[in-house]
Structure formats: C-alpha cells, structure tokens
Amino acid sequence: MSNKNLRNLIRIVHLIAAAAFGAYFYSPIAGNETLKLIIQFVTIPSIVLTGLALWQQAYLNKLLNRNAHNPAANSG
C-alpha cells in the first residue's frame, strides 16, 4: 500500500470516528450506557491514534522501515 493510500485510509477512519463522537455528543441518546462505553474505549482512542498517525506519518514510516531492514535489531 502506498503512503498516499495509507494516509487516505487513516484520514477516513479518523473522520468517521470523529463524526461518531460528534453524533454521540450532540444526540439525545447520549445517556445510553453501552454507547457511552463504546465511545470511551473505541472511538476516542481511535481518534487519538489516527490523529497521531496522520501527524507523525513520516517519522513512523522511517521507524518501521528501519526495523524492517535491520533483522538483528528485531532479534532482541
């Protein structure tokens, strides 16, 4: 997968999670306990992780490529 496709996929996941959070926050069903737990433990962490991935994509690619090309570093 190319960097552009990966970035677009991460951006779409980020926007969908943010839209779900916004819909929860402004909807009258905010009192639903199950939905509250899903928002707390799935949606908000996914927003944070995808946001960090979008912000630091170049650094993450460099870090992952360095570990992929250096098998001695992975053996521990």
Q: What is the rounded distance in angstroms from the CA atom of residue 75 to the CA atom of residue 22?
A: 44
Question: Tens digit of pLDDT for each residue in 7-49?
Answer: 999 999 999 999 999 988 888 877 788 888 988 999 999 999 9
Q: Give which of 6, 8, 18 is closest to 45, Cα–Cα.
A: 18
The pLDDT value given to residue 76? 53
pTM of the predicted protein model: 0.73
Q: Give which of 52, 50, 56, 55 is closest to 13, Cα–Cα.
A: 50
Residue 20 CB partners (closer than 8 Å, separation 6+) = 39, 43
Q: Cα dihedral angle (21, 27, 28, 32), rounded to 10 degrees?
A: -20
